A and B are shown apart, each in its own frame.
Chain A
Amino acid sequence: MSDGPKAFGVAGVLRPRINWQVLTTLAVLLIVGFLVVLPMVFLVEESLNVGDPMAFPPVEFGIANYISIFSEDIRTVWNTLVIAVMATVMAILIGFTLAWILTRTNVPGREKLERLMELPYYMTPLVGALAWAVIAGPKSGFINQIWKSIGGTNDIADIYTHFGIAWVMALFEGTVAFVMISASMKSMDPALEESARVMGASKFRTMLTVTLPLVMPGVMGASLFVFAEMLGSFAAALVLGIPGRIYVITTAIWDSTLAYPPDYGRASAMGLSLFIVMFVMLTLYRRMIRRGTFTTISGKAFRPRPMDMGRMAWVLFSVCALYVALAVVFPIAALLMTSLQRFATVILSQAQWTFANYELALSLGPVRTALFNSVMLGLSVATVGVVIMALLVWIIYRSQLRGRGAIEYLVMFPQAVPRLVFGLALLWAWLNIGLGLYGTLWLLGLAYFTVMLPLGVRTLAGVVLQIDKSLEECARVCGASWAYQMRTVTLPLLKPGILAAWLLIFMACVRELGASAFLMGPHSKVIAPSIVNAFATSGTELTAAMALIQTFTVILALVILFRVARGMTKELQ
């Protein structure tokens, strides 16, 4: 409690208690509430607007927008469900298989493989979707090109379908499922299985009666989480759904704001409905993992005792390798090939190699500005954000402020709102508030900061909670003042975490699509929506070059992250 708020003056005299504790809490609640909750309030108001869609504020209210979801837009709802279910099933299958192989068997190169599984996460679904459009698009897709060159007549692959969209979503959400399921597998005490074996159960019977029931809750939790994410995902459906006129809720929201006049009421109603469904599912999920009986999570990791798979181990290895190939290697290779040719083809004898696409991408004013804006936004949001988030983390996890629970809830709230819906809410809020912020980079920066709050706070909290409180207390007992303690003990220990959070936020900003799609103006272009526009209006070759430029910016940031992190750990030793 030493580092709780100081209700005492330096002289050691206790002053009346009301003062700044309450004020700080109120101020933080107000600011975070303003950023997080207010946009949602505007969204609710607009979703009930049944009058002039361009009226600020609306004058006629009704629930017609909600009713139309189940009449005019029922097709969209159906698409969303079909795609989300297919994608969830595939993602969980991928995640479960990989988790089982990498935590329960002696697959060769296990640790390296486990690290490779992070790669799809850094690729982003947008880049993945573009790449798979190149690989498996109808007619000119690489697979169809190859098929025809060996004598096939019809297209055999078409990614612009329900299954195609679900496939790409699953590939990139599979790694999330993998992380969640393998965590529940790792936290299971192997002695639970071993005691079944000792009692005389066969390997198979043990698997059936002990392992599966114990892991099942973890799998269910992951399914729920992944399904909620799928409902709110945007990039793959945008790139692969629009050409085939397959709309899901997120793309329908986007589409209705592009129409003239933009139908903000309909978009808001759909966005809010989506948010409520996701919110309920995520709350359920959180309930599930919090309940004590759930799975075997004891907080401690057990030493894994992998099964000896003999020769099968290499088969399992190729399963992991295949996943990495499908999610990372083929997509990047396809984009590279496309971006380096005048007309994309996989038949090498016909290829005309050129750097023209990169030259064009980097010489086009709008593209250059967009990239520059994204990087600048990333740098500034990460820098300012980390400072504020560190302060929030300290208030939430280390202080004794009353109301810190409420602050935590507010800060984590954006996590439950689909990015796109939050972007819409912010757009609507700032159209109403005015202040001339709409269409500027300032608004984008504010939006990025708000949607990155959960990511940054979670990353920093992980580090803060790892630092034993007595490390700080000991400094005080040794005679150090609060400021001296912060400078010599707390901040040096936090340094690696602060850096990690900075880079994660930076990367997330440079890749941000959902919120940017709505908030980008003609004078505030950013890179991810520009890539989408390029895909819709210019050739795949130029789009591929742009996507790769964005990816390499992110990779560069990653390389720096690992360099610095390694330096940090060295310093600590």
Chain B
Amino acid sequence: MAARRVRSGSRKKGKQNLVPVFIGVSIIAVLALIMGSGVLKKGSAARGLEPTPNFRVAEYRQDGSRFASSGNVYVFDGRVENIETIGNARLVSISIPENPDERLPLLVQGDTKLRVNLTRGDRFIFETTCRTGKTSEGQQVKGVLIVRNVETK
């Protein structure tokens, strides 16, 4: 029993000794959080791009037009695998980390001014919209991801 008392006495004493430490650590943590969030907030705000969560390329392959009707802005963090230039436009195929075996084709229209230079093998963050178009012959072109903005990773 004595041993217990000794112990309980020493526990109380220990708790009393840690309080300042907790306080100090909490303050530091709060400061760190405040500072960190400030830094993050500053970066995001600079670019305004967040990868769209849970995007499955396989789903896009199955039915691309579905993506054109709901929200239709998608941000991808992907690696440029290929760039095909046709006239003023470019078709960029990227691979995204979640689906390395898939290729996602993105259209960079001729009138889109990008602030970055797309290079093969590099990763970028692409802000895209899924659109439906029409050819001059009247043929519908559904579910094409058109790049609006690109930022370096």
Do A and B assemble together?
Answer: no
A interface residues with partner B (beta carbon < 8 Å)? none
B interface residues with partner A (beta carbon < 8 Å)? none
